Chain A
Amino acid sequence: MTRSNTITALTGTAAKARKDNDMNRLGWLARGRRTGLASAAILMAATGAALAHGADGGVAVAVEGAPSWSLSPVYHILVAHFPVGLWVTAYLFILIRSLSDAEFAVRLQKAIWPVAALGTLAGFVTYGLGLTIYPWSAITESPLGRNHIMLATWTLSYWTVMSVLGYRFRRHLFEGAQRWITLALATIGVAVITITGTLGGSLGGTPSLVTKSLGWIGWNVYMTFYLPTWMLVTFFAGAVLLIALGIMGSRAKPAPK
């Protein structure tokens, strides 16, 4: 191949790469816009429905210390099904992909991060709606309320981490031994979703068998979940240790083959 041909070929390849890149960026922008518009429409519809529900039926009652405005719990309950459904679906896909390299599993794997991320987006909306139901002072006096907030915070933060992981590493999550770590992390995630959901049900007056079974394995959910001070210190130290391990591990030289 002559020098000019080589230059032409390289120039063509670079131009193609730039074009592909531009196309990708435009595609992302378009998808982002669509997703944003759809999310905004859903939120507006939910807000409208909530405001429409603001007028009480039956006999109005005055309650000492009641906030001037609060959102009916039904919207939190309604919206909560979305993150729960999406995250559990993401977990199902992770489970299948972790156990199988079949084409079907590989196809499912491509949906994992978008499903998890949508769940996280819906999770933030659900969390926000939940905080509008009761005054903060009241819900944090209730052991069950405290526990629900605690687990909801864990769930939301945990699946935010999982969504970021899914987005950044995609198929690499299932390479080699990493797939088992991915599965372990996701299993913890689905456990906290389950507990958060059952606590929400209990708070609404419909405790499930899961609520009781938590008692059988050591946590009566009507007792506030709090840690003794020494465990708090251990948790903070654990957080620092985890970050340190991450930094050390990322800088570590590969083991000799």
Chain B
Amino acid sequence: MKRQTKYLAASTAIFAGLLVAAWVTHGTGVVRDDPERNIVIPDELMSDLQVKVAYDGDTIWFRYRWPVERPSIFNDVLIYQDGEWVRRGGESLGPNPEFLTEDRVAMMIDDGSVPLFSRYGGYITIGDGLTTFTGVPETDEERTKYLPSTRTDPNDFDTVRPESDLQMLREAGQFIDLWQWRSSRSNPIGLGDDGLVAEERGGDEGTGPYMTNFDSASGQPRFMFDPDVAGYRALSFDDVVAGDVGFNDTYYLSEQTAVPFDPTYEWQNGDTIPRRFLRPETGSRADVVQPSAARWRNGFWDVTLQRAMDTGNPLDDKIFQDGGSYDLAFAVFRNASTMRWHYISLPVSLGLGQPAQIEARRSEPGQPDWTGPWTEIEVYYPGQITWGQLTDARVHPGADRIAQRVPVAARHTEEQLALYGVQMEFREEIRAQWLWTLIASLSLIVGLGISVNLLMRRKEGDA
């Protein structure tokens, strides 16, 4: 082989080698946890949820099953430490390493009154400036999900419409019903939690299944475990964190398991008491309950929630009717995560005697028929994507499709959305790195072009 040809072969080999190296190393070096900016990327971006629905004309049952490696049955707790009761757990950025954030499942329901919901699901409720989003300053009040129609500027959290407008919207059905099940703050006493999303995410009228077990004035819990029932006044923090406290132990405070706190008792460092006291719900908020408290078994939560099909509260609840069609969207909280570190689904249709993705089974009175197959639903980590971004043609190439009401499922898969969600958390960094990659790769191709043009040879005597 001629020397020039050897150089030529070397150039080609270097170019091809760099392409292979680029293939192997691409996509690294930018995406990483950054708690300073509220960025924590879950290890798994995708998960699964199984759903069955049954109804008997009066009651509707929803059954949910999802994988959880280690169940989290505690939320926030109070720990005795050197004379003080200190709060631990509850809200955290990403997974709580001490497993002090409860598991949860949530379901949004609409009856077609909020037409965008059937196409884009929970995305329509993610306005700009929500709590935990990168760059959003911390506020005393949590800035929660809301419907765009409740704002004069849908992208500005602070532009809430006047109360009369909100009432009008509510009466027109412009709200999304929201059911929740909480492994710590509702499950132990067999309850769900009935809420809604309108101008904010909140509970229905009435009181919820838990109250705060802490007296700020005294700096002490209000209740402790009843030693006659539990055999102890407090749990050991080490046992709680290690997962040694289970369903067969008394691990929650309620009327049946608690007594008023005894400040005279000789408390020891590490004594742990739940920061929530569970109680019966009242009003419209009490509509969603469980047939019995759920338990985690064999790596899965298996939870059933039930509600009267017509609660008589049409301003708080979406009323189910035989022959009706509805839209649902689910969120699963696992691995001791909360707030936006959940796994969501795209909108899913529900039919009561109607064709749909989930077809509810007509059942005998009071006997939910679970003989049908599960509906398998992919759920994914959504990252930080707001409705304002999705509908802005300067940011989202598909904004015109949204304006044309093309459903998200027609254009994107769950996996795609998960990956996009993560990349949106690093939008500036990734775009800059991508631009540099474009320039660097172009320079490499130009380098190859010059090299090969210099090294290619013609046989002597040939023009």
Does B7 contact A135, Cβ atoms closer than 8 Å? no
Complex CA distance for A243 and B372, rounded to whole angstroms: 68
- Cβ of B168 under 8 Å from chain A: no
Does B456 contact A169, Cβ atoms closer than 8 Å? yes
Complex CA distance for A153 and B19, rounded to whole angstroms: 15
Query: What's the least CB distance linking A148 to chain B, in Å?
Result: 11
- Cβ of B442 under 8 Å from chain A: yes
Which residues of chain A from 155 to 214 have any CB-CB distance to chain B below 8 Å in the complex? 157-158, 160-161, 164-165, 168-169, 172-173, 175-178, 181, 184-185, 188, 205
Query: What's the least CB distance linking A254 to chain B, in Å?
Result: 6
Q: Which residue of A lies closest to B420 (CB)?
A: A143
Query: What's the least CB distance linking A159 to chain B, in Å?
Result: 10
Q: Which of A12-20, A84-92, A103-111, A230-238 contacts B (4 or more CB under 8 A)?
A: A230-238
Q: Which residue of B lies closest to A182 (CB)?
A: B456
Please tell me which one of the listed residues B3, B391, B434, B454 contacts residue A225 in the complex, with CB atoms under 8 A apart.
B434
Does A226 contact B3, Cβ atoms closer than 8 Å? no
Query: What's the least CB distance linking B41 to chain A, in Å?
Result: 13
> Residues of A contacting B166 with CB < 8 Å?
none
> Residues of B contacting A141 with CB < 8 Å?
395-397, 427, 431
> Residues of A contacting B436 with CB < 8 Å?
226-227, 229, 232
- Cβ of A154 under 8 Å from chain B: yes
Range for the number of chain A residues in contact with chain B: 35 or more
Please tell me which one of the listed residues A176, A185, A225 contacts residue B12 in the complex, with CB atoms under 8 A apart.
A185
Does B458 contact A172, Cβ atoms closer than 8 Å? yes
Query: What's the least CB distance linking A223 to chain B, in Å?
Result: 5
- Cβ of B410 under 8 Å from chain A: yes
Does B3 contact A249, Cβ atoms closer than 8 Å? yes
Does B2 contact A226, Cβ atoms closer than 8 Å? no
Query: What's the least CB distance linking B391 to chain A, in Å?
Result: 6
> Residues of B contacting A253 with CB < 8 Å?
3
- Cβ of B440 under 8 Å from chain A: yes
- Cβ of B419 under 8 Å from chain A: yes
> Residues of A contacting B446 with CB < 8 Å?
157, 161, 239
> Residues of B contacting A231 with CB < 8 Å?
21-22, 25-26
- Cβ of B24 under 8 Å from chain A: yes
Does A249 contact B449, Cβ atoms closer than 8 Å? no
Q: Which residue of A lies closest to B31 (CB)?
A: A223
Please tell me which one of the listed residues B16, B441, B455 contacts residue A250 in the complex, with CB atoms under 8 A apart.
B455
Q: Which of A34-42, A45-53, A60-68, A115-123 contacts B (4 or more CB under 8 A)?
A: A60-68
Q: How many residues of B contact A (CB 8 A)?
A: 75
> Residues of B contacting A11 with CB < 8 Å?
none
Complex CA distance for A226 and B447, rounded to whole angstroms: 20
- Cβ of A30 under 8 Å from chain B: no
Interface readout for A120-149 with B: 1 if CB under 8 Å, 0 if not?
000000000000001101111111011001
Please tell me which one of the listed residues B5, B11, B393, B440 contacts residue A66 in the complex, with CB atoms under 8 A apart.
B393
Query: What's the least CB distance linking B106 to chain A, in Å?
Result: 26
Grouping DSSP codes into helix (H, G, I), strand (E, B) and loop, the B interface class, with mixed when no group exceeds half, is helix
Does B393 contact A135, Cβ atoms closer than 8 Å? yes
> Residues of A contacting B28 with CB < 8 Å?
228
- Count of chain A to chain B residue pairs whose CB atoms are closer than 8 Å in the complex: 248
> Residues of A contacting B2 with CB < 8 Å?
176-177, 254-255
> Residues of A contacting B339 with CB < 8 Å?
none
In the complex with contacts A141-B431, A146-B431, A184-B437 CB distance below 8 A: no
Complex CA distance for A240 and B440, rounded to whole angstroms: 11
Query: What's the least CB distance linking A228 to chain B, in Å?
Result: 3
Query: What's the least CB distance linking B423 to chain A, in Å?
Result: 6
Does A222 contact B416, Cβ atoms closer than 8 Å? yes
- Cβ of A252 under 8 Å from chain B: yes
Does B393 contact A67, Cβ atoms closer than 8 Å? yes
Does A250 contact B14, Cβ atoms closer than 8 Å? no
- Cβ of B399 under 8 Å from chain A: yes
Query: What's the least CB distance linking A208 to chain B, in Å?
Result: 14
Please tell me which one of the listed residues A150, A229, A245 contacts residue B438 in the complex, with CB atoms under 8 A apart.
A150
> Residues of B contacting A224 with CB < 8 Å?
27, 423, 430, 434
> Residues of B contacting A218 with CB < 8 Å?
23-24
Does A254 contact B3, Cβ atoms closer than 8 Å? yes
Complex CA distance for A248 and B6, rounded to whole angstroms: 12
Complex CA distance for A53 and B293, rounded to whole angstroms: 61
- Cβ of B18 under 8 Å from chain A: yes
Q: Which residue of B lies closest to A139 (CB)?
A: B397
- Cβ of A220 under 8 Å from chain B: yes
Query: What's the least CB distance linking B401 to chain A, in Å?
Result: 9
Query: What's the least CB distance linking B244 to chain A, in Å?
Result: 40
Does A242 contact B15, Cβ atoms closer than 8 Å? yes
> Residues of A contacting B427 with CB < 8 Å?
141
- Cβ of A28 under 8 Å from chain B: no
**Can you list the 4 inter-chain pairs with the closest CB atoms, starting with the nearest?**
A249-B7, A228-B29, A239-B447, A246-B451
Interface residues of B (CB under 8 A from A): 1-12, 14-16, 18-19, 21-30, 391-397, 399-400, 403-404, 410-411, 415-416, 419-420, 423, 427, 430-431, 433-438, 440-459, 462
A/B interface sample: 17 pairs, CB < 8 A: A64-B399, A65-B395, A66-B400, A168-B456, A177-B2, A181-B9, A181-B12, A181-B452, A205-B410, A218-B23, A229-B436, A231-B26, A242-B448, A242-B450, A246-B7, A249-B455, A252-B4
